[in-house]
Amino acid sequence: SNGAAVHANGAELVPHSPLRQPFVIGVSGGTASGKTTVCDMIIQQLHDHRVVLINQDSFYRGLTAEESARAQDYNFDHPDAFDTEQLLECMGQLKHGLPVNVPIYDFTNHRRCSERFRKVNASDVIILEGILVFHDQRVRNLMDMKIFVDTDADIRLARRIRRDNFERGRSVISVLDQYGRFVKPAFEDFVLPSKKYADVIIPRGGDNHVAVDLIVQHIRTKLGMHDLCKIFPNVYVVQSTFQI
Ligand code: CTP
Protein backbone atom coordinates (compact mmCIF):
# COMPACT_ATOMS: atom_id res chain seq x y z
CA SER A 1 0.00 0.00 0.00
CA ASN A 2 1.16 3.56 -0.66
CA GLY A 3 -0.43 4.62 2.60
CA ALA A 4 -3.29 6.53 0.95
CA ALA A 5 -6.57 6.64 2.84
CA VAL A 6 -9.24 4.44 1.30
CA HIS A 7 -13.00 4.89 1.38
CA ALA A 8 -15.26 1.99 2.36
CA ASN A 9 -16.13 1.57 -1.31
CA GLY A 10 -12.48 1.12 -2.21
CA ALA A 11 -11.94 4.53 -3.86
CA GLU A 12 -8.73 6.31 -2.97
CA LEU A 13 -9.15 9.38 -0.77
CA VAL A 14 -7.02 12.44 -1.28
CA PRO A 15 -6.88 15.56 0.88
CA HIS A 16 -9.17 18.16 -0.63
CA SER A 17 -6.96 20.87 -2.08
CA PRO A 18 -8.42 24.11 -0.75
CA LEU A 19 -9.12 26.98 -3.10
CA ARG A 20 -6.32 29.12 -1.75
CA GLN A 21 -6.58 31.82 -4.35
CA PRO A 22 -9.48 34.22 -4.71
CA PHE A 23 -12.36 33.34 -7.03
CA VAL A 24 -12.01 35.48 -10.18
CA ILE A 25 -15.06 36.45 -12.24
CA GLY A 26 -14.77 38.16 -15.63
CA VAL A 27 -17.70 40.32 -16.75
CA SER A 28 -17.71 41.43 -20.38
CA GLY A 29 -20.21 42.85 -22.87
CA GLY A 30 -20.56 45.79 -25.23
CA THR A 31 -20.42 49.41 -24.18
CA ALA A 32 -23.22 50.43 -21.79
CA SER A 33 -24.58 46.88 -21.68
CA GLY A 34 -25.06 47.01 -17.92
CA LYS A 35 -21.82 45.35 -16.83
CA THR A 36 -21.43 47.64 -13.84
CA THR A 37 -25.03 47.01 -12.72
CA VAL A 38 -24.54 43.24 -12.91
CA CYS A 39 -21.29 43.55 -10.89
CA ASP A 40 -23.00 45.75 -8.29
CA MET A 41 -25.84 43.24 -7.93
CA ILE A 42 -23.36 40.38 -7.40
CA ILE A 43 -21.38 42.43 -4.86
CA GLN A 44 -24.55 43.36 -2.96
CA GLN A 45 -25.65 39.75 -2.69
CA LEU A 46 -22.18 38.66 -1.55
CA HIS A 47 -22.10 41.25 1.24
CA ASP A 48 -20.80 38.66 3.73
CA HIS A 49 -17.66 38.08 1.63
CA ARG A 50 -14.77 40.31 0.69
CA VAL A 51 -15.36 41.22 -2.95
CA VAL A 52 -13.42 43.73 -5.07
CA LEU A 53 -14.26 45.16 -8.47
CA ILE A 54 -11.50 45.92 -10.96
CA ASN A 55 -12.44 47.89 -14.08
CA GLN A 56 -10.51 47.36 -17.29
CA ASP A 57 -11.13 51.08 -17.90
CA SER A 58 -8.63 51.85 -15.14
CA PHE A 59 -5.94 50.45 -17.40
CA TYR A 60 -6.55 52.74 -20.37
CA ARG A 61 -3.24 54.15 -21.57
CA GLY A 62 -3.04 57.87 -20.98
CA LEU A 63 -2.95 59.88 -24.23
CA THR A 64 -0.02 62.10 -25.12
CA ALA A 65 -0.75 65.82 -25.57
CA GLU A 66 -0.64 65.27 -29.32
CA GLU A 67 -3.10 62.35 -29.25
CA SER A 68 -5.29 64.23 -26.81
CA ALA A 69 -5.62 67.17 -29.19
CA ARG A 70 -7.07 64.75 -31.74
CA ALA A 71 -8.96 62.52 -29.28
CA GLN A 72 -11.91 62.33 -31.68
CA ASP A 73 -9.68 60.25 -33.99
CA TYR A 74 -8.44 57.88 -31.27
CA ASN A 75 -9.85 54.35 -31.11
CA PHE A 76 -10.67 53.69 -27.44
CA ASP A 77 -12.38 50.44 -28.36
CA HIS A 78 -9.32 48.70 -29.81
CA PRO A 79 -7.45 46.22 -27.56
CA ASP A 80 -4.25 48.31 -27.95
CA ALA A 81 -5.90 51.20 -26.09
CA PHE A 82 -5.37 49.26 -22.85
CA ASP A 83 -2.17 48.57 -20.90
CA THR A 84 -2.83 44.85 -20.62
CA GLU A 85 0.62 44.11 -19.16
CA GLN A 86 -0.16 46.33 -16.21
CA LEU A 87 -3.60 44.77 -15.80
CA LEU A 88 -1.99 41.32 -15.72
CA GLU A 89 0.54 42.42 -13.13
CA CYS A 90 -2.18 43.88 -10.95
CA MET A 91 -4.42 40.81 -11.21
CA GLY A 92 -1.45 38.55 -10.49
CA GLN A 93 -0.75 40.40 -7.24
CA LEU A 94 -4.39 40.24 -6.16
CA LYS A 95 -4.58 36.56 -7.00
CA HIS A 96 -1.72 35.99 -4.63
CA GLY A 97 -3.47 37.86 -1.85
CA LEU A 98 -1.41 41.04 -2.12
CA PRO A 99 -2.82 44.60 -2.07
CA VAL A 100 -2.45 46.71 -5.23
CA ASN A 101 -2.66 50.31 -6.38
CA VAL A 102 -5.07 50.61 -9.30
CA PRO A 103 -4.65 53.67 -11.57
CA ILE A 104 -7.47 56.20 -11.75
CA TYR A 105 -8.58 57.16 -15.26
CA ASP A 106 -10.16 60.44 -16.23
CA PHE A 107 -12.59 60.04 -19.15
CA THR A 108 -12.95 63.77 -19.64
CA ASN A 109 -9.26 64.40 -20.32
CA HIS A 110 -8.34 60.86 -21.52
CA ARG A 111 -5.58 60.83 -18.93
CA ARG A 112 -4.48 59.01 -15.85
CA CYS A 113 -4.48 60.93 -12.60
CA SER A 114 -0.75 60.48 -12.14
CA GLU A 115 -0.46 60.92 -8.37
CA ARG A 116 -3.68 59.27 -7.33
CA PHE A 117 -4.40 55.55 -7.09
CA ARG A 118 -7.15 53.39 -5.69
CA LYS A 119 -5.77 51.01 -3.10
CA VAL A 120 -7.37 47.58 -3.42
CA ASN A 121 -6.91 44.97 -0.72
CA ALA A 122 -6.80 41.21 -1.02
CA SER A 123 -10.21 39.56 -1.13
CA ASP A 124 -12.18 36.33 -1.55
CA VAL A 125 -13.70 37.31 -4.88
CA ILE A 126 -12.25 39.53 -7.63
CA ILE A 127 -14.56 40.78 -10.38
CA LEU A 128 -12.83 42.06 -13.51
CA GLU A 129 -15.17 44.10 -15.69
CA GLY A 130 -14.67 45.59 -19.16
CA ILE A 131 -15.54 45.51 -22.87
CA LEU A 132 -12.42 43.51 -23.75
CA VAL A 133 -11.61 41.38 -20.69
CA PHE A 134 -12.08 38.18 -22.74
CA HIS A 135 -9.85 39.34 -25.60
CA ASP A 136 -6.41 38.40 -24.24
CA GLN A 137 -5.91 34.73 -23.48
CA ARG A 138 -3.66 35.46 -20.49
CA VAL A 139 -6.37 37.58 -18.91
CA ARG A 140 -9.01 34.93 -19.65
CA ASN A 141 -6.84 32.30 -18.01
CA LEU A 142 -7.05 34.15 -14.69
CA MET A 143 -10.82 33.70 -14.57
CA ASP A 144 -12.78 30.99 -12.78
CA MET A 145 -16.06 32.17 -14.29
CA LYS A 146 -16.83 34.28 -17.37
CA ILE A 147 -20.05 36.24 -17.75
CA PHE A 148 -21.13 38.08 -20.91
CA VAL A 149 -23.80 40.74 -20.50
CA ASP A 150 -25.90 40.70 -23.66
CA THR A 151 -28.00 43.79 -24.28
CA ASP A 152 -29.53 44.99 -27.57
CA ALA A 153 -27.40 47.52 -29.45
CA ASP A 154 -30.14 50.18 -29.59
CA ILE A 155 -30.54 50.08 -25.82
CA ARG A 156 -26.77 50.30 -25.40
CA LEU A 157 -26.45 53.24 -27.77
CA ALA A 158 -29.27 55.10 -26.00
CA ARG A 159 -27.58 54.57 -22.64
CA ARG A 160 -24.20 55.51 -24.02
CA ILE A 161 -25.48 58.84 -25.39
CA ARG A 162 -27.05 59.69 -22.05
CA ARG A 163 -24.01 58.64 -19.99
CA ASP A 164 -21.31 60.22 -22.13
CA ASN A 165 -23.31 63.40 -22.34
CA PHE A 166 -23.96 63.69 -18.60
CA GLU A 167 -20.97 61.96 -17.03
CA ARG A 168 -18.12 62.18 -19.51
CA GLY A 169 -18.65 65.69 -20.87
CA ARG A 170 -19.32 64.75 -24.50
CA SER A 171 -21.69 66.29 -27.01
CA VAL A 172 -24.39 64.06 -28.53
CA ILE A 173 -22.90 64.61 -32.00
CA SER A 174 -19.45 63.49 -30.87
CA VAL A 175 -20.88 60.36 -29.20
CA LEU A 176 -22.74 59.37 -32.38
CA ASP A 177 -19.68 60.06 -34.52
CA GLN A 178 -17.41 57.96 -32.26
CA TYR A 179 -20.00 55.19 -32.15
CA GLY A 180 -20.15 54.83 -35.92
CA ARG A 181 -16.41 55.17 -36.52
CA PHE A 182 -14.95 53.14 -33.65
CA VAL A 183 -17.36 51.69 -31.08
CA LYS A 184 -19.59 49.64 -33.38
CA PRO A 185 -16.80 48.32 -35.67
CA ALA A 186 -14.64 47.32 -32.67
CA PHE A 187 -17.63 45.65 -31.03
CA GLU A 188 -18.04 43.53 -34.15
CA ASP A 189 -14.31 42.83 -34.56
CA PHE A 190 -13.27 42.20 -30.95
CA VAL A 191 -16.08 42.15 -28.36
CA LEU A 192 -18.65 39.95 -30.10
CA PRO A 193 -16.08 37.28 -31.13
CA SER A 194 -14.97 37.03 -27.46
CA LYS A 195 -18.51 36.11 -26.39
CA LYS A 196 -17.73 32.49 -27.26
CA TYR A 197 -15.47 32.26 -24.21
CA ALA A 198 -18.33 33.06 -21.80
CA ASP A 199 -19.60 30.43 -19.38
CA VAL A 200 -22.82 32.36 -18.82
CA ILE A 201 -24.58 34.84 -21.13
CA ILE A 202 -27.00 37.19 -19.37
CA PRO A 203 -29.76 38.58 -21.56
CA ARG A 204 -31.09 42.08 -20.78
CA GLY A 205 -28.15 43.02 -18.55
CA GLY A 206 -28.94 44.50 -15.18
CA ASP A 207 -32.69 43.78 -15.38
CA ASN A 208 -32.09 40.06 -15.09
CA HIS A 209 -32.40 39.21 -11.40
CA VAL A 210 -32.90 35.48 -11.98
CA ALA A 211 -29.58 35.19 -13.82
CA VAL A 212 -27.74 37.11 -11.09
CA ASP A 213 -29.32 34.91 -8.37
CA LEU A 214 -28.14 31.77 -10.17
CA ILE A 215 -24.63 33.14 -10.58
CA VAL A 216 -24.42 34.16 -6.93
CA GLN A 217 -25.60 30.71 -5.87
CA HIS A 218 -22.77 29.13 -7.85
CA ILE A 219 -20.17 31.49 -6.37
CA ARG A 220 -21.47 30.74 -2.86
CA THR A 221 -21.10 27.00 -3.48
CA LYS A 222 -17.48 27.52 -4.57
CA LEU A 223 -16.68 29.79 -1.62
CA GLY A 224 -18.48 27.44 0.78
CA MET A 225 -16.26 24.54 -0.25
CA HIS A 226 -13.29 26.77 0.36
CA ASP A 227 -14.50 27.77 3.85
CA LEU A 228 -15.15 24.16 4.80
CA CYS A 229 -11.60 23.26 3.91
CA LYS A 230 -10.28 26.08 6.05
CA ILE A 231 -12.26 24.86 9.06
CA PHE A 232 -11.56 21.17 8.46
CA PRO A 233 -8.17 21.05 6.71
CA ASN A 234 -8.05 17.28 7.02
CA VAL A 235 -11.36 16.62 5.37
CA TYR A 236 -11.01 14.02 2.67
CA VAL A 237 -13.04 13.74 -0.47
CA VAL A 238 -13.59 10.77 -2.69
CA GLN A 239 -11.56 11.35 -5.82
CA SER A 240 -12.25 8.46 -8.15
CA THR A 241 -15.77 7.65 -9.23
CA PHE A 242 -17.25 4.59 -7.67
CA GLN A 243 -17.80 1.90 -10.26
CA ILE A 244 -20.42 -0.80 -9.98
N1 CTP B 1 -14.02 55.58 -23.88
C2 CTP B 1 -14.14 56.90 -24.27
N3 CTP B 1 -13.16 57.79 -23.96
C4 CTP B 1 -12.05 57.41 -23.29
C5 CTP B 1 -11.91 56.06 -22.88
C6 CTP B 1 -12.92 55.18 -23.20
O7 CTP B 1 -15.15 57.26 -24.89
N8 CTP B 1 -11.13 58.31 -23.00
C9 CTP B 1 -15.11 54.63 -24.19
C10 CTP B 1 -14.74 53.61 -25.24
O11 CTP B 1 -15.19 54.07 -26.48
C12 CTP B 1 -15.47 52.33 -24.79
C13 CTP B 1 -16.08 52.69 -23.46
O14 CTP B 1 -15.44 53.90 -23.05
O15 CTP B 1 -16.48 51.96 -25.70
C16 CTP B 1 -15.85 51.63 -22.39
O17 CTP B 1 -16.65 51.88 -21.27
P18 CTP B 1 -18.05 51.09 -21.09
O19 CTP B 1 -17.83 49.64 -21.19
O20 CTP B 1 -19.06 51.67 -21.97
O21 CTP B 1 -18.38 51.53 -19.58
P22 CTP B 1 -18.87 50.65 -18.36
O23 CTP B 1 -19.43 51.61 -17.36
O24 CTP B 1 -17.79 49.75 -17.92
O25 CTP B 1 -20.03 49.76 -19.03
P26 CTP B 1 -21.46 49.34 -18.51
O27 CTP B 1 -22.40 50.44 -18.89
O28 CTP B 1 -21.74 48.06 -19.27
O29 CTP B 1 -21.40 49.15 -17.04
199 near 24, Cβ under 8 Å? no
Q: C-alpha angle 35/37/43, rounded to 5°?
A: 105
Nearest atom in ligand 1 to the alpha carbon of residue 31 is: 20
Q: Which whole-number Å values give the CA distances from 13 to 3, 5, 169, 235, in the listed order?
A: 10, 5, 61, 10
Q: What is the DSSP letter of 71?
A: G
pLDDT of residue 135: 98
Ligand 1 proximity of 74 Cβ (cutoff 6 Å):
no
Residue nearest to atom 3 of ligand 1 (CA): 107
Section 211-229 average pLDDT: 85
- Count structural domains, the chain: 1
Ligand 1 proximity of 183 Cβ (cutoff 6 Å):
yes
Residue nearest to atom 24 of ligand 1 (CA): 130
Nearest atom in ligand 1 to the alpha carbon of residue 170 is: 7
Phi-psi region of 148 (alpha: psi -120 to 50; beta: other; left: phi over 0): beta
Kindly state whether residue 242 falls inside one of the protein's structural domains: no
Ligand 1 proximity of 57 Cβ (cutoff 6 Å):
yes
- Cα-trace Rg, the chain: 21
- Which residues constitute the domain of residue 159? 19-227
Kindly state whether residue 68 falls inside one of the protein's structural domains: yes
Give the whole-angstrom CA distance, residue 45 versus residue 217: 10
Q: Which residues pair with 26 in a beta bridge?
A: 128, 146
Kindly state whether residue 241 falls inside one of the protein's structural domains: no
Kindly state whether residue 13 falls inside one of the protein's structural domains: no
Kindly state whether residue 121 falls inside one of the protein's structural domains: yes
Kindly state whether residue 235 falls inside one of the protein's structural domains: no
Kindly state whether residue 14 falls inside one of the protein's structural domains: no
pLDDT of residue 187: 98
Tens digits of residue pLDDT in 22-72: 999 999 999 999 999 999 999 999 999 999 999 999 999 999 989 999 999
Percent of the chain scoring above 70 in pLDDT: 84
216 near 42, Cβ under 8 Å? yes
Interface confidence, given as ipTM, is 0.96
Q: What CATH number corresponds to the domain at position 158?
A: 3.40.50.300
The SS3 call for residue 224 is helix
Give the whole-angstrom CA distance, residue 189 versus residue 197: 15
Exposed (0-12), middle (13-18) or buried (19+): which is 159, by Cβ within 10 Å?
Answer: middle
Nearest atom in ligand 1 to the alpha carbon of residue 160 is: 20
Q: How confident is the model at residue 239 (pLDDT cuts 50, 70, 90)?
A: very low
Helix (H) or strand (E) holding 155: helix 153-166
Kindly state whether residue 7 falls inside one of the protein's structural domains: no
Average pLDDT, the chain: 88
Q: Does the pLDDT of residue 127 top 70, yes or no?
A: yes
